Amino acid sequence: MKLTELIAGHIVAVYEGGNWTEVNIKDTLADVGYKEATTVTEASYNTIAALLHHLSFYNDIVMQRLSGANPVINEANGFDMPAIKNEEDWLKLKERNLQSAHQLADAVSQFPDEHLNELTATGHATHYKTLHGITEHAHYHLGQIVLLKKLIRQTKTPATKSNSL
């Protein structure tokens, strides 16, 4: 199996399961509705929905880099998400996120292994480092999503006091 196919598998696994952490984006968001997804907490000005939009944005950026482009990343950095007004908007955002992950994985699996050690058009990192970075990026934001989900749900139903931590 080609190295790029293995990397593509890691990208899909963080989104749909089968990664070493046993946590993935699809399952984590399965029971999250649009109101929770758009809730701003004291812990972060980013919402679950904004983080998901940001992840899709960067999947698209990396796909462009694989094709030799160096897209401009605006100041919003992928957090300029259209408003989520209802459950349908939220479902579309979740579907778009999974599509972006699969599109990226497909592009990665088609990328020639012999070009992995070449610099991307940015000139800052190799394709290999960029592809591992996008997977690490998804894991990082998945951790934030998990924490925000727990915080939002604890806020809705205050936890009972306990002597143990």
161 assigned to some structural domain: no
pLDDT score of 128 more than 60:
yes
Residues 66-94 have pLDDT tens digits of: 999 999 999 999 999 999 999 999 999 99
- What tens digit of pLDDT does each residue of 37-76 get? 999 999 999 999 999 999 999 999 999 999 999 999 999 9
Residue 63 counted as domain residue: yes
Decide if 68 contacts 121 (C-beta within 8 A): yes
Chain-centre distance of CA 95, in angstroms? Answer: 12
- pLDDT value at residue 59: 98
pTM strictly above 0.85 = yes
Residue 9 token pair: 């598998």
Is residue 15 situated within a structural domain?
yes
At residue 97 the predicted structure's pLDDT band, cuts being 50, 70 and 90, is very high
Give 139: exposed, middle or buried? Use CB within 10 Å, 0-12, 13-18, 19+. Answer: middle
Beta bridge mates, 41: 44
Tens digits of residue pLDDT in 133-164 = 999 999 999 999 999 999 999 987 655 444 44
pLDDT in tens, 99-113: 999 999 999 999 999
Q: What is the H or E stretch that residue 68 is in?
A: none
Q: Distance between CA atoms of 18 and 22, rounded to whole angstroms?
A: 6
CATH code: domain of residue 91: 1.20.120.450
Domain that holds residue 18: 3-156
164 within some domain: no
Count up the domains in the chain and report the number. 1
Q: Tell me whether residue 48 is in a domain.
A: yes
| 127 Cβ contact list (under 8 Å, min separation 6) | 65, 66, 111, 115, 116, 117, 118, 119, 120
Residue 6: band (very low, low, confident or very high) from pLDDT cuts 50, 70, 90: very high
